[in-house]
Amino acid sequence: MGKINRLDEHLSNMIAAGEVVERPMGIVKELVENCIDAHAKNVEIQILQGGIDTITIIDDGDGMDAQDATLAFERHATSKLKEVNDLWNIHTMGFRGEALPSIASVSHVLLRTNNGIDSTEVEINYGKLMSAKPCGTPRGTMIEVKNLFQKTPARFKHLKSPQYEFSLISDVVQKFALSHPEIGFNLSHDGRTIFKTRGNGSLLEVLMQIYGRDTAKTAIQLDGSDNDYKISGYAMQPQFNRATKYYMLMYINGRMIRNYHLQKAIMDAYSHYLPKERYPIVVMNMEMDAQLVDVNVHPSKWEIRLSKEKQLEKLVYETISEALKNQLQVPEVKKSE
Site for ligand ADP, rule CB under 6 A: 30, 34-35, 38, 59, 61-64, 68, 72, 77-80, 94-100, 141
d(CA 6, CA 115): 36
First CA to last CA distance, the chain:
70
Name residues whose C-beta falls within 8 Å of residue 4's C-beta, 6 or more positions apart in sequence.
none
Nearer to ligand ADP, 173 or 220 (CB): 173
d(CA 9, CA 101): 9
d(CA 279, CA 336): 15
| Binding segment (CB under 5 A) for Mg ion, from list 42-50, 81-89, 94-102, 155-163 | 94-102
Site string for Mg ion, 95-124 (x = CB under 5 A): ----x-------------------------
Q: Residue 306, Cα to own-chain centre: how many angstroms?
A: 19
Nearer to ligand ADP, 62 or 121 (CB): 62
Give the CB-nearest residue to Mg ion.
Answer: 94
Residue in 94, 127, 162, 224 binding Mg ion, rule: CB under 5 A? 94
The site partner of 265 among ligand ADP, Mg ion, none (C-beta below 5 to 8 Å per kind) is none
d(CA 124, CA 84): 30
Share in percent of the chain as helix, strand, coil (round to 5): 35, 25, 40
Nearer to Mg ion, 37 or 165 (CB): 37
Residue 1: how many other CB atoms lie within 10 Å:
3
CB 300 within 8 A of CB 207: no
Min dist CB 79 to ligand ADP, Å, is 3
Size of interface with Mg ion, in residues (CB under 5 A)? 3
The site partner of 290 among ligand ADP, Mg ion, none (C-beta below 5 to 8 Å per kind) is none
d(CA 142, CA 43): 10
d(CA 327, CA 234): 12
Nearer to ligand ADP, 101 or 238 (CB): 101
Nearer to ligand ADP, 28 or 203 (CB): 28
Nearer to Mg ion, 144 or 268 (CB): 144
Residue in 13, 34, 105, 237 binding Mg ion, rule: CB under 5 A? 34
Min dist CB 181 to ligand ADP, Å, is 20
Is position 26 an interface residue for Mg ion (rule: CB under 5 A)? no
DSSP conformation class of 89: S
Q: Which residues form the interface with Mg ion (CB under 5 A)?
A: 34, 94, 99
